[in-house]
Amino acid sequence: MKVQGQNQHAGESGPRVSHTPADGSGFLTAANSQCLYIERSGSRGLAESKATGPRTKQGKQRASLNSTKHGIFSKVVVLEGEPRAEYESLLAGLRETLRPVGALEELLVEKLATIEWRRRRLLIAEGAEIRKNTEFVELDQRLREREEAENFLRSLDPLNNHGLIGGIHNPDVLQRCQGLLAELREQIERDGLNPENDKTVLERIYGDREEIRLCDDFCDFYLSLLAVSQPSEEERLGERYVSPEQCRKKILRGIDEEIRRLNRYREARTSMETVRMQLETLRHSIPDGHGLDRLLRYEASLERAFDRTLSQLERQQRMRLGQFVLPPIKVDVGT
């Protein structure tokens, strides 16, 4: 095809025109990125136009990466241990959506990415604050119970013993009572009744017998059977008392029943404590006052920064496209 109207100096300083396709259609490529096209009708003159950029979706995607493949702030924004690939994915998504052109728009898009990355870090910090308050509720409660048990044991007056049974609301004290009863049962089953030793163990659990009590307890039950087992054989036959062996068996069954009673108490107490722990956990599902205020202030600051940056980017893009842009409104508040 013969090109008409070509500049006489094109061979020296003008664009070098390549051959066009055989069908005469399409664009002529130029070394200086300017396009010369041939009109298919009319005078077939040469005209020069500026490049309008890629028109296809694939071309636009490639062009969006022309500035920098990775964010120039990523080394500063992404801390050690944070997933850099997620930040790069966030930045690439913002570039694809906002399509920045030029260094200034690119910097504004990267600023949006850094703000959103900090918002992500804020949500992680908020989750950690909640986990700190909720996951250790049970542990803190257990430590308080252990300390309470130790204080209770230290507070027992050896001269005026009220017994461990008064503190069985504490799991450690309750477990100690059950342990002493189990040891007593093993000893009675092996060696038989030993009034002096048995009474010492029982008074340690149930307190002195001189103390005023609301009702009888297992210690009273033991003492009543012990009194029946001590009369002579002649007195027992005359009064028709049960034998010492029968008393021993009744005491062993009584210890078993007392251990079961304490187990039922522990189960009921555990059920109530579980519900209370769940409510306590829900109560701590929001950070406490100081932590919540700090997180909310930081979140509000990030939101304002994001809105300002997005507004700057929109203004810059409208100016680049030649669209009308309202002047920024600045308000100075004085006292």
Residue-wise pLDDT for 75-128, tens only, equals 678 888 889 999 999 999 999 999 999 999 999 999 999 999 999 988 888 887
Question: Mean pLDDT in runs of 10 for the chain (335 residues)?
Answer: 41 41 38 34 39 61 48 74 91 94 93 93 82 71 77 66 84 92 95 92 87 80 87 67 86 95 90 77 67 84 94 92 83 66
User: Looking at residue 48, what is its pLDDT?
Assistant: 41
Domain range annotation of the chain? 1-52, 58-135+295-320, 156-283
The confidence score (pLDDT) of residue 150 equals: 74
Distances (CA, A) of 130 to 126, 142, 157, 277, 286: 6, 19, 43, 15, 6
pLDDT at 102: 92
Identify the pLDDT of residue 163: 85
- According to the model, what pLDDT value does residue 67 have? 43
